[in-house]
Amino acid sequence: MTHAPAYLVLEDGTRYRGRAYGARGRALGEAVFATGMSGYQETLTDPSYAGQIVVQTAPHIGNTGMNDEDPESRRIWVDGYVVRDPSRIVSNHRAVRSLDDELEAQGIVGISGIDTRALTRRLRDAGVMRAGIFSGDDAALDPDTQLAEVRASAAMNGRSLSAEVSVDEAMVVPAVGESIGRLAVLDLGVKASTLRHLAERGFEVHVLPQSTTIDELRALDPVAVFYSNGPGDPAASDAHVSLLQDVLKDGTPFFGICFGNQLLGRALGFGTYKLPFGHRGINQPVLDKQTGRIEITAHNHGFAVDAPVEGVVDSPAGFGRVEVSHVGLNDQVVEGLRALDIPAFSVQYHPEAAAGPHDSTYLFDRFRAMVSDALLKEKGTDVPFDGSDSLPRATQNNQNEGTD
């Protein structure tokens, strides 16, 4: 059996020859590697991967096919896909089509049959970089032409992608059970599992376009605001930072994840920076400094907040005391922020655990508890905010017990 050739070209001139996989043509983006051994469908449909060519470090991909229950958004968002050994057959009772067919149907150009271990080592040593996949007619292009196309493509630094992944119009996900109020979710690339977890905590979830203004947000009169994950450089999201600063000045409770963590960091007055190769996968260890527990977590980020890991510091933007609440144990990167004088916190990873471990789903309970306490305080009940009441009572009483 013959296979059409394909080439992966990195901006430093490194070149890999493999086989065409998925759609034929040309894909340009930032080459990154994801370490998850499962959950490729959730990875592909995570909007945070927009603008990137994803390299799967697990060698065998596609054996469970694709189904209609697990997508995290309305489409595949990766700009290109790299695997070593795609499965020749699909073996899962929920599968309705193969991964190869889905990639082709959605126009995602991929490459298979290359040494993804060597490629990952290259990206770890040199850092993530722009890349291109060339197959079909584009595989016949002169190597210098292919390299020139890669080097002319957009870099991730300074790139804003929120408008590409956000909803165009507001949508509502009803609360499960009794509602505690409207939650404004700024969609910067939100995943379906996140919305489900929020609705299950009693929030009437209003998913808002990323262009929402402070007046539109206030008109909704939400009990809290949530910033989602998403792609791009947080330094290119000044409007979202300004909106969040207005939210914090209003005293509205806030929770952010991933991109939302970086934007909270900026709103509090800290900087952000690009990591050499980022954190992507479902096996990243993180320390929750508040409980002392180590969690295995799902990550997808290439930028991080530049804040002191130890101690309590004053917010440079004037929002009171702030501390780093979570730390990545592989490299001591800031993985969470907690404001001590206002009801706001965030984490850099994905507590919705799709696909991934469930160690961090307690954060949604922590958020609900913080909002509930704020509502009681608003009604005149004496519930002083000291930054610790965001830990739900059940968690306080069972910190040493396992999570579901």
- What are the catalytic residues? 258, 350, 352
Q: Are 182 and 375 in contact (CB under 8 A)?
A: no
What is residue 317's three-state secondary structure?
A: coil
Measured distance CA(55)–CA(77) in Å, rounded: 14
Q: Produce one character per residue of 65-95: b if its CB has 16 or more CB atoms within 10 Å, e if not.
A: bbeeebbbbeebbbbbbbbbebbeebeeeeb
Q: Which residue type sits at 216?
A: E
Residue 348 CA, distance from chain mean position: 8
Q: Are strands 60-61 and 52-56 parallel, antiparallel or unpaired?
A: unpaired
Query: Can you read off the two tokens belonging to residue 271?
Result: 């900087």
Phi then psi for residue 135, to 5 deg, are: -140, 180
Q: What is the DSSP letter of 155?
A: P
> Smallest Cα–Cα separation from 342: which of 238, 224, 263, 179?
224
Contact 45, 77 (CB under 8 A): yes
Please, which residues bridge with residue 326 across strands?
288, 336
Nearest to 80 by CA among 30, 153, 143: 30
Identify each DSSP E strand in 123-198 by its residue range: 129-135, 171-173, 181-186
DSSP H or E stretch at residue 144: helix 143-152
Q: How far is CA 116 from CA 33, 60, 131, 259, 324, in A?
A: 9, 11, 14, 27, 35
Pairing of strands 5-10, 271-288: unpaired
Cα(357)–Cα(282) distance, rounded to whole angstroms?
A: 7
